A and B are shown apart, each in its own frame.
Chain A
Amino acid sequence: MSPLLGRHLLGVEDLDGREGIEAVMRLTDSFVEVSERAIPKVPALRGKTVAWLFYEDSTRTRLSFETAAKRLSADTMNFSVSSSSVKKGESLRDTARTIEAMGIDAIVVRHSSAGAPHRISGWVDAAVVNAGDGWHQHPTQALLDAYTIRQHLGSVEGHHIAIIGDIKHSRVARSDVAAFTTLGARVTLVAPPTLLPPSLEGWPVTVSHDLDAVLPTVDVAYLLRMQRERMTEALVPSLREYTATFGLTRRRAELLSPDALVMHPGPMNRGVEIAAEVADLPCSLILDQVRNGVAVRMAVLYLLLGAGADLVPPALDRTQEPEAVRA
């Protein structure tokens, strides 16, 4: 619908490279301003309906999208799918088309399976927004992370960002790597080899297994959530050992340069990947991320549903020679 964004937002690559991501961030500036108003609501998407199709519990992301849609005056409806109906093998296509038949304009999908939003986008006319699919991507998280870094450091370009923890199972990491590197940041992945993807072919990143060595060099330390079930899969011996080697403890936080920032997509496991007191340091942007999440999602929904087609910048001919002017 907009040249900044295709008909759907399924992954960071749907944004038109660096230019597209930056355009979304500029639009986000406008929605940050809207969010700060006495009445933080605009009528932009009046009459549009956005549906949540969440196959996975996520109060935070759903709330963030819902707030975004409501601040744009869109109507919202919730189609929460019990995991049991997934187990029953209910056709994803049937579900998606059922929702669309109710006359909705956008479907925000979260699914524990990678690619579920891709599949849905092939079956419906509505815009599909990926709100997290399996280990694959979570593009609005990457946009809000990039926006938050830009807000605090002026830009993403030229900065060194360490993404620390369970990269292998993290859709956030996949989207962040794509967004940060597209915007010109240097990214280092820090994790034990068991928590790295099986191949990093084509990922423009460096890898380290030594957090202490990396921390003094970073502008942003981005911590990922360490899920308890990883212990049973023999990926790390124990949470205690994980914290000892890859947790941002109080002691480790002192290795960070004074201007370095700490980020986390939430929800945090305080005391595991991040010490409680580190999460509450002034350099921690965790609540800024949440705040910016609403504005970024407003920008995405607005681009998909509002901004209209064929956005061509107007040209001006002062020379009476239209051919000489960009048309």
Chain B
Amino acid sequence: MAERERRQAPPYGGVFRARTRVMDSDDVQRAVWRMAHEVIEANHGTDDLVLVGLQTGGVPVAEALAGALGSISGAEVALGSLDVAFYRDDIGLRPVLPEAVTDIPWSLDGRTVVLCDDVLFTGRTIRAALNALSDYGRPRAVQLAVMVDRGHRELPIRPDYVGKNLPTRRDEVVDVHPEGVDLGEMVR
């Protein structure tokens, strides 16, 4: 659920109305498997790999990716979650409450972290996540996997693994959910 994006898209407190289904559940599955292969290829396996899903929309993406990685490599991949509310740069400007408790029960020192999120938009959430991660240790590398890259970056951030590149208007909202990915907008 791209709750975070909906929450942060004006009009705040509005209702999301889907217009187009841009990926169905099979598309999402195929994208997850492709990304899993890319992760293994880029990292020469899954040793020292940690998947961290961003609360809340990134968590199912991370879970799906972890499942795929486990099936391919035969080894279980460490899976955590991260809430970046306290690191956002818009605290005080709009409602920013954590959606769930961060769960990273191990040190990240020397490990490769794959941050997982559902939608990559301005890049500000990822910026906050990078700051947050550094409070858990010093990873060897941090990579970024997203189901949808919808453009409109406001920071120099680029994903390593992308489910789908989706050109959008700024005022549109992308909703990633178990049945697929919808494009629509917030309405009053």
Whether A and B touch (Cβ < 8 Å) is answered with: yes
User: Which residues of A does B touch, CB under 8 Å?
Assistant: 2, 27, 29-30, 33-34, 37-45, 48, 72, 302, 305-318, 320, 322, 325, 327
Roughly how many angstroms separate A308 CA and B93 CA in the complex, as a whole number? 6
Q: Are B91 and A45 in contact (CB under 8 A)?
A: yes
Name A311's contact: one of B3, B16, B95 (CB within 8 Å). Answer: B95
Spot the interface stretch: B58-66, B130-138, B144-152: B130-138
Interface residues of B in 22-52 (CB under 8 A from A): none
B110 part of interface (Cβ distance < 8 Å): no
Name B96's contact: one of A29, A306, A313, A320 (CB within 8 Å). Answer: A306
**Tally of A-B residue pairs with Cβ under 8 A?**
99
Which residues of chain B are within 8 angstroms of A305 by Cβ–Cβ distance? Answer: 92
Which residues of chain A are within 8 angstroms of B175 by Cβ–Cβ distance? Answer: 316
User: Which residues of B does A touch, CB under 8 Å?
Assistant: 1, 3, 6-7, 12-18, 83, 85-87, 91-98, 101-103, 107, 131-132, 134-137, 175, 187-188
Which residues of chain B are within 8 angstroms of A45 by Cβ–Cβ distance? Answer: 91
Q: Quick one: which of A40, A44, A45, A305 has the most chain B CB within 10 A?
A: A44
Which residues of chain A are within 8 angstroms of B134 by Cβ–Cβ distance? Answer: 39
Chain B nearest Cβ from A94, distance in angstroms: 29
A308 with B94: in contact, given A30-B101, A38-B136 (CB under 8 Å)? Answer: yes
Roughly how many angstroms separate A320 CA and B185 CA in the complex, as a whole number? 12
A325 with B95: in contact, given A37-B136, A43-B87 (CB under 8 Å)? Answer: no
Q: A308-B93, A313-B7 are in contact. List 19 more A-B contacts (CB 8 A).
A: A2-B95, A27-B97, A30-B85, A30-B102, A34-B86, A38-B136, A38-B137, A44-B85, A310-B95, A311-B95, A314-B13, A314-B16, A315-B14, A315-B15, A316-B15, A316-B16, A318-B18, A325-B15, A327-B13
Roughly how many angstroms separate A302 CA and B83 CA in the complex, as a whole number? 15
Roughly how many angstroms separate A156 CA and B188 CA in the complex, as a whole number? 39
A39 with B91: in contact, given A306-B96, A308-B96, A310-B13 (CB under 8 Å)? Answer: no
Which residues of chain B are within 8 angstroms of A317 by Cβ–Cβ distance? Answer: 15-18, 187
- Nearest to B184 among chain A residues (CB) is A317
- Nearest to B9 among chain A residues (CB) is A314
Q: Are A307 and B95 in contact (CB under 8 A)?
A: yes
- Nearest to B88 among chain A residues (CB) is A44
Chain B nearest Cβ from A4, distance in angstroms: 9
Q: Are A42 and B86 in contact (CB under 8 A)?
A: yes
Roughly how many angstroms separate A108 CA and B135 CA in the complex, as a whole number? 28
Which residues of chain A are within 8 angstroms of B102 by Cβ–Cβ distance? Answer: 30, 33-34
Q: Are A308 and B98 in contact (CB under 8 A)?
A: no
A302 with B95: in contact, given A312-B13, A316-B15, A327-B15 (CB under 8 Å)? Answer: no
Q: Are A42 and B12 in contact (CB under 8 A)?
A: no
Which residues of chain B are within 8 angstroms of A39 by Cβ–Cβ distance? Answer: 134-136
Roughly how many angstroms separate A39 CA and B102 CA in the complex, as a whole number? 14
